[in-house]
Structure 1
Amino acid sequence: MCFSKKSITFPSNGVQVAGFLNTPENASKATPALVCVHPGSSCKDQTAGIYAEKFAEFGYVTIVFDASYQGESGGEPRYTEDPSARVEDIRSAVDYLTTLDIVDNDRIGVLGVCAGGGYAANAAMTEKRIKAVGAVACANIGRLYREQNPIQTLEQIGKQRTAEANGAEPMITQWIPNSQEEREEAGIDDIDIKEAIDYYKTPRGQSPNSPNKLKFTSIEKVIAFDAFHLADQLLTQPLQIVVGDVKGSFGSYYDGHELYEKAASQDKDILVLEGVTHYDLYDQPEPVAKAVDKLKDFYKKYL
């Protein structure tokens, strides 16, 4: 099915968020819709955008956007990763969809990739306009950062905040090494990091809206965030998780299973794809097709 794609903006807690709206050619007042949520460090032009376009081809109105403070979206300070803002962005995207005559407000779902999957699940706990939750290679970003010397990092952040309060320039760090050579020099030998570099830092997935920059002091917000907190009480919507069984340091295999076990959803499922890595589910044709096939049946049933 053909669809049209246009650039849009919508407000999210005082920030103008930039996104793409994909509209199927046969959209009517009864059209279901999906909010597609990108990974940490990513943008609307990358993997979440791939899934958004595929579901537009299936007849869904889809919206994908750059997180507040990142990409083409507004907000200061730049390159901030703020979980509360990321969740609010999802709520605000739902707000935007409800203003469209073609969208059925009772048939809105969410689909997140990597940290976007964690944010999607977290948003759905208190955003009951979301009727179905899909999470691909989902990761609990807070858990990931809590495994990396969190107390030491928080002490460093405190010192940096003091320095910036006294006139120092904001400290901008990076999400991943900028090259495989840089990774090797750092002594990192992990499949997720290797493939992250291959995805984000080569023509495979590179985008100017995903510059591998992260405001260091914003990491304090990430460390304190648990994407799955209260999922056993509040995540009641139907849930479909897709992960690969090749395990890397980002932990999506384990996070996917934790979310599956914890969610209060009566209707939930986890699909584990054999021989598939975290980043295979970003853009590789066969794994993405398997994920999409599973999610297509899921959203057809629940939206």
Structure 2
Amino acid sequence: MLDDFFMRALIAGSGVALAAGPLGCFIVWRRMAYFGDTISHSALLGVALGFLADINLVLAVFAVAGLVAVGLMVMQRANTLSSDAILGILSHSTLAIGLVIVAFMTWLRIDLMAYLFGDILAVTTQDIAIIYGGGAAALAVLALIWTRLLADTVSFDVARAEGLRPEAARFIFMLLVAAVVALTMKVVGILLITALLIIPGAAARNFATTPETMAVIAAGIGVVGVVGGLHGSLYLDTPAGPTIVVAALLLFLASLGVRGLTQWRASRVAEDHHAV
């Protein structure tokens, strides 16, 4: 029989995967992996400012991540630097500033490892409620902007010509990613949340035939990765957060193998048909 803390970890991790999977699909489609890293790195600055101002850490992280998203859009419009250069500056600067602020707060003991790599086994029922409530809200908003965001992903100019306001959809999506990072940092950590946003979506891409199917499969792969990673952590006595990411990686590699085998069989069938 599994302990209560382990069951809470399973439930919380599954909630994170369900919320991160569909969002991660757009990150994969739009090639925004570096943006995910930037938002997650900025979370440490939010944690530091939250402790400094004595406010809710989730709200502090969301506020900082939201400001980073605004800064990114403003600098992209200025068109003075490439997007990857801007993301690099924002990512490393916010992470460094956060670490410096934490170092100055000598009166406060902060377990940086828990925030960087997560502490999923320490989640509470309140954390679970926040994860599922916030995750459901994020997915509801994603569903509302799904068509506009998908059109923007295919062609920004076409989406704008059709009056779909792609800029607004893009900004809302950035805020959704920021919200998910803020809600889930306690589970897998600031440095690992990007993996749960990207890897399930990348794996689902090898199976899906439609965007909607890919979102559902990505959420499912994320849940399987969480369950497998937690059980692996239990039996191998390894850190839970990193083990979850390793499990997700193994699922991605398996998806590549299945895709390669499917393509090989399809080519063999085509060759046999051509020979006949």
Per the normalisation by structure 2, the TM-score is 0.27
- TM-score w.r.t. the length of structure 1 is 0.26
